[in-house]
Amino acid sequence: MALAGVHKDRRELRIHESLDELSTDLADYIAELSEASVKERGVFAIALSGGSIIGLMGKLCEAPYNKTVDWAKWYIFWADERVVAKNHVESNYKLAKDGLLSKVPIVPSHVHSINDSVSAEQAADDYGFVLRQLVKMRVVSVSGICDCPKFDLVLLGMGSDGHVASLFPKHSLLDEKDDWVTFITDSPKPPPERITFTLPVINSASNVAVVVTGESKAEAVHLTIDHVGPDRPVLPSRMVQPTEGKLVWFLDKAAASKLQSVQFCE
Ligand code: 6PG
């Protein structure tokens, strides 16, 4: 059971004692969203990130989820991807394929990875084109507020600097308002070349979950979630504010250890 389900400004915090407990809660959360989306739209359009989040989704490959989730209705995208070959150890596609997609009956043609044989700029353009096609086909919904794609779920990790997807602090990409997918060639986190969803796409999602664990993230979690002074930096993670959708933070106790605005309910 989560240590605290503190609902603040439509944000829900789920703080867990252990990674095992967090993983089970995350699997339940994703399975429930999948069921609701398939019931409502006939599909579940999910955007993944890289990093530890894929490992924390591992329970979905086990009973009961491997049998109860309607995997054939899943459409997989990436909120960010490194511009490397898809079989490269740094590829988020490879990470997800090895850790999840190869273990559950996902329909291969429903997996939309980047074109890994072009430049970062071209890969971003191509991915934006693919998204536009999938929006036209109603696989991905459209936001009622902007013409952005409205994913059923965008899953994000967060760096210790507060980056999400490949949107890094003080980077001009944070100001991108028109493109759905953009690119970076000087990522502070290697490898340097990546494509990434822009904030309008992330904030148009029906559901956003940010999954953060470990002491190294505690300061960034504090700066993101607590009310802090105007002199403190506005981290990319703090700019994740779904316009209509719901935001849930999955934290372990270490990542939540510097939070000041959380009442722990046993
Ligand atoms: C990437 C990720 C990135 C990641 C965070 C957190 O491609 O690197 O999408 O945004 O989610 O850096 O990674 P960890 O959870 O592994 O610290």
Query: Model confidence over 198-249: pLDDT tens digits?
Result: 999 999 999 999 999 999 999 999 999 998 888 888 999 999 999 999 999 9
Looking at per-residue pLDDT, the higher value among 132 and 7 belongs to 132
> What is the model's pLDDT at position 145?
84
Taking the centre of ligand 1 as the mean of its atom positions, its distance from the CA of residue 156, in whole angstroms, is 8
> What is the model's pLDDT at position 229?
86
In the predicted model, what is the mean pLDDT of residues 52-66? 97
Res 72 pLDDT > 70: yes
In the predicted model, what is the mean pLDDT of residues 240-262? 94
Indicate whether 25 belongs to any domain. Answer: yes
Taking the centre of ligand 1 as the mean of its atom positions, its distance from the CA of residue 52, in whole angstroms, is 7
For residue 165, what pLDDT band results from cuts at 50, 70 and 90?
Answer: very high
Indicate whether 15 belongs to any domain. Answer: no
Gap between the Cα atoms of 120 and 101, Å rounded: 24
Burial label for 6, CB within 10 Å (0-12, 13-18, 19+), is: buried
Answer yes or no: is the C-beta of 92 below 6 A from any ligand 1 atom.
yes
Indicate whether 109 belongs to any domain. Answer: yes
Paired strand residues for 7: 12
> What is the model's pLDDT at position 228?
86
> What is the model's pLDDT at position 37?
98
Query: Structurally, how many domains does the chain consist of?
Result: 1
Percent of the chain with pLDDT strictly greater than 70: 95
Indicate whether 135 belongs to any domain. Answer: yes
Q: What is the rounded average pLDDT for all residues in the chain?
A: 95
Paired strand residues for 41: none
Res 173 pLDDT > 70: yes
Indicate whether 72 belongs to any domain. Answer: yes
Which mutation among 22, 23, 26, 52 tests ligand 1's pocket best, with the greatest number of atoms within 8 A of CB?
52
Res 122 pLDDT > 70: yes
What is the CATH number for 98? 3.40.50.1360
Closest residue to atom 12 of ligand 1, CA basis: 159
Res 18 pLDDT > 80: yes
Res 136 pLDDT > 60: yes
Res 4 pLDDT > 90: no
Res 192 pLDDT > 60: yes
Indicate whether 5 belongs to any domain. Answer: no
Closest residue to atom 7 of ligand 1, CA basis: 50
pTM here?
0.96
The amino acid sitting at 240 is V
C-alpha separations of 191 from 31, 187, 232, 242 in Å: 32, 7, 28, 28
Indicate whether 8 belongs to any domain. Answer: no
CA atoms within 13 A on the CB side of 244: 14
> What is the model's pLDDT at position 119?
98
Gap between the Cα atoms of 204 and 182, Å rounded: 16
> What is the model's pLDDT at position 227?
85
- The range of the structural domain enclosing residue 151 comes to 21-265
Closest residue to atom 10 of ligand 1, CA basis: 165
- Comparing 6-10, 80-84, 124-128, 232-236, the range with the smallest average pLDDT is 6-10
Indicate whether 193 belongs to any domain. Answer: yes
Answer yes or no: is the C-beta of 159 below 6 A from any ligand 1 atom.
yes
Backbone angles phi, psi at 45, to 5 degrees: -105, 110
Residue carrying structure tokens 């329909």: 107
Cβ pair 183, 124 in contact under 8 A: yes
Percent of the chain with pLDDT strictly greater than 90: 89
Answer yes or no: is the C-beta of 165 below 6 A from any ligand 1 atom.
yes
Gap between the Cα atoms of 240 and 237, Å rounded: 5
- Comparing 4-13, 45-54, 137-146, the range with the smallest average pLDDT is 4-13
In the predicted model, what is the mean pLDDT of residues 143-157? 95
Answer yes or no: is the C-beta of 99 below 6 A from any ligand 1 atom.
no
> What is the model's pLDDT at position 25?
97
